[in-house]
Amino acid sequence: MDMKMDARKDLHVIIPMPVHRALEREARRQGARTAQIMRKAVEEYLRRAEAERIAEEMREYVERMAPQSRKLVGQTTAHAARKLLEETEW
């Protein structure tokens, strides 16, 4: 995800006071502005959401391909067994 810092949008967010106090404490601890902490948090959240979306798409793909994969494994195993029987001296 490419986060461009040159194009920005002002955003008004209402958060609970305990969250606001924790945000201010963290900003002081890091020597940063609260907006910077919030921006980092949103960016991290979006990165994780994208990773979860991709993982879910991969799981769905694997589930769709499972029947074909089992068939291929069965064919490959049968072919290997046939080849072994053909090449073995009896």
For 36-68, how does the pLDDT look when each residue is reduced to its tens digit (9 = 90+)?
999 999 999 999 999 999 999 998 888 887 777
Measured distance CA(61)–CA(51) in Å, rounded: 15
Number of compact structural domains in the chain: 1
Q: Which domain holds residue 53?
A: 17-87
Asked if residues 43 and 1 have their Cβ atoms less than 8 Å apart, the reply is: yes
Residue 37 lies in a domain: yes
Q: Is the pLDDT of residue 25 over 70?
A: yes
Residue 77 lies in a domain: yes
Measured distance CA(28)–CA(74) in Å, rounded: 61
